[in-house]
Structure 1
Amino acid sequence: MSQRVKFEIKRYCFMVVGCFAYAMALDLFLVPNNIVAGGVTGLATVLNLVFGVGVGAFSILLNLPILLLGLKTQGVPFILRCFLTTALLGVFTDLFAFLPTITQEPVIAAIYGGVAQGVAIGLFCRFAVSSGGTELLARVIQPKLSGISLGNLIGVLDGVVVLVGSVVLKNPENVLMALIVIFISARVSDLIITGMDYAKMCYIITDRPDEVAETLLQNSPRGVTRLDGTGMYTKTAHPVLMTVIKKQQLTKLRLLVEATDPNAFIIVSETTEVLGNGWSPIVGESAPQKRPKKRNTQGLPPV
């Protein structure tokens, strides 16, 4: 199969996993503890407490007009994926509503609900699917509102839902519970989106670029890119080498650079995801091809 077909299969498999995780966050933690954490599912939770209809059914009904509004601006393929995700999430939420709550402690429920919700949102974002809700609504109306960013608009919409839930439930503590859910969900979703395979991006400013680059290439499976730089104080050219390495390789890189050019200047920054040859594939599941290590000619341990 082509890389694109493999990615599409993976996309819909993880969409199912994300819908299941989101449904578990609602059924096991948030809804039984009357926690309204924003979004369409939060509004559906309020309606469920008032009218007794399933949260999943309300979520689907509330999302339908939002999906229709987004059809023109977001395109048919994206809206179809949104509808599929919304429908599956609604079905899962009502299907597993019979499960008993795991905890009656609101803070614990907010923490675990935030983790499960964050896993779902992270998978949705990573594989370009969406359950609609306030995010899609914000995308639709944001072009009509000058001076407000998409993130701030989503925050405003979610905040309105949280406040409505607090008023309806006559429970001011719901705001605190919602903040816990939103904070943990954001942190977990970021982790899912960017991954845990942190790397280091290194810029090496040196007057001996060829020697330093050759040393690194001989002792590391990572590539090196040369950039042209100019020192603005001295107005002289200073070549810059750029490479991305695993964080555990940083010490060895310092030793290699120091052995070749003790006067070199190294800048190290954190990077959360690297895609391409030698790292994770950009699309699909094909194993990355690593460049074989060359013979160490410097008498130093390889990076």
Structure 2
Amino acid sequence: MKRFREYILITIGFILVALSLQLFLVPNKIAAGGVSGIAIIINSVFPVLEVGALMLIMNVILFIVAFIVIGNKFGGKSIYASLGLSGTIWIMDKFNVSSYVLTKDLLLASIFGTLLGGMGMAMVFNQNASTGGTDILAKILNKFFHLDIGKALLSVDFIVTLFAAVTFGADVAMYALLCVIINGFVIDNIIEGINTSKEIMVISSKINEISKYIIEELDRGCTILHGTGGFSSKKTDILYTVLQRKQFIKLKKFIKEVDSRAFITVSESHEVLGEGFKDILADE
């Protein structure tokens, strides 16, 4: 069931990316890096070659090269997401979806295309998958030229925008570069928002009741730490737990009922790994 849910989320994710390309970026010739950017540039020179078909061919070639050069570093979810995105765009090309362009304003197309695409990419990345393409090129550069993955990704996208400048002009290329920059921020912030949990510490005379509520009612774990009061020098117990936002609301209400004098500190954790949350060694 968990695996099925992961693939459903990945599917929704790459459909959003496909829509961002077809409704905003492709009609306005905004080649915002990656395989999709290369496909947009080639399509403008050879219109008979559809963006989706080009992406599908390039991704298949890149995966074959990656298996030969890098080895088996790409799991089933990444292959599914990569080929699924290319296939979806290819199907949309057949139905001429890009003709339903929502705006011809380059700024609006850049902003809304990047927001929609970033949302989709975040959903894919959050399931420990990727859409291939640029990631594969970056890993090849990392292997042969020892570039950091992040720098390699930026280098590939920058080269694509240079070709976009030659093909479409400097103005369109600068919008493409703007999309590349914004996309990273969008993806990071959405993933952080999805994975944000509440890290909670409680000092209370009713620690046993509170820990029992967390374990039995919220189905979460907790840890009891033993401390000493700095002012009173009395021994005291401190409860530590990590909960989802909705669970914390329930816990706060319960603590208010059993011990209104409890001392609670709350902070946000942008990523939690381990039992009950994301697997530490999540495979693809």
TM over 0.5: yes
Q: Tell whether the 8 Å contact from 1:56 to 1:89 is kept in structure 2 after alignment.
A: yes
SS in 2 for 1:35: coil
Are 2:22 and 1:27 aligned?
A: yes
Which of 66, 70, 76 aligns to 2:66? It is 70
Identity across matched positions, percent? 24
Q: Tell whether the 8 Å contact from 1:121 to 1:189 is kept in structure 2 after alignment.
A: no
> Relative to 1, partners in 2 of residues 1:112 and 1:79: Cα closer, same or farther, differing over 3 Å?
closer
**Aligned residue number for residue 282 of structure 2:** none
Alpha-carbon distance in 2 for matches of 1:75, 1:20: 21
> 1:120-199 alignment to 2 at 5 Å?
120-146=120-146, 148-180=147-179, 182-184=181-183, 186-188=185-187, 190-191=189-190, 193=191, 196=194, 198-199=196-197
**Aligned residue number for residue 51 of structure 2:** 55
Are 2:41 and 1:42 aligned?
A: no
> 1:1-303 alignment to 2 at 5 Å?
6-52=1-47, 53-71=49-67, 72-75=71-74, 77=76, 80-81=79-80, 84-85=83-84, 87-98=86-97, 99-146=99-146, 148-180=147-179, 182-184=181-183, 186-188=185-187, 190-191=189-190, 193=191, 196=194, 198-204=196-202, 211-217=205-211, 221-222=217-218, 223=220, 225-226=222-223, 228=225, 240-245=238-243, 246=245, 248=249, 252=253, 259=260, 267-272=265-270
Q: What's the CA shift for 1:229? A: 7.3
Aligned residue type for 1:105: D
Deviations 1:142-198 (A, max 9, x none): 24444x43223212211221222123212235324532464156425752x455474
Q: Tell whether the 8 Å contact from 1:200 to 1:271 is kept in structure 2 after alignment.
A: yes
SS in 1 for 2:170: coil
| TM-score, with structure 1 as normaliser | 0.69
* Structure 1 residues not aligned, in runs of 5+: 1-5, 283-303
Which moved further from structure 2: 169-178 or 220-229?
220-229
Aligned residue type for 1:66: L
Alpha-carbon distance in 2 for matches of 1:181, 1:49: 20
Alpha-carbon distance in 2 for matches of 1:44, 1:61: 10
RMSD: 3.9
Alpha-carbon distance in 2 for matches of 1:153, 1:136: 10
Aligned residue type for 2:211: L
Alpha-carbon distance in 1 for matches of 2:156, 2:78: 20
Deviations 1:230-254 (A, max 9, x none): 89x9xx9986421234354586588
Q: What's the CA shift for 1:104? A: 0.9
Q: What's the CA shift for 1:273? A: 6.1
Q: Aligned residue pairs: how many?
A: 265
> Relative to 1, partners in 2 of residues 1:197 and 1:39: Cα closer, same or farther, differing over 3 Å?
closer
Aligned residue type for 1:140: I
| TM-score, with structure 2 as normaliser | 0.73
Alpha-carbon distance in 1 for matches of 2:176, 2:78: 31
Alpha-carbon distance in 2 for matches of 1:9, 1:255: 39
> Relative to 1, partners in 2 of residues 1:184 and 1:130: Cα closer, same or farther, differing over 3 Å?
closer
Q: What's the CA shift for 1:43? A: 1.1
Which moved further from structure 2: 80-89 or 18-27?
80-89
Aligned residue type for 2:90: V
Aligned residue type for 1:62: M
Deviations 1:80-121 (A, max 9, x none): 435632542442342243432111111111122112212321
Q: Tell whether the 8 Å contact from 1:81 to 1:130 is kept in structure 2 after alignment.
A: no
> Relative to 1, partners in 2 of residues 1:82 and 1:141: Cα closer, same or farther, differing over 3 Å?
farther
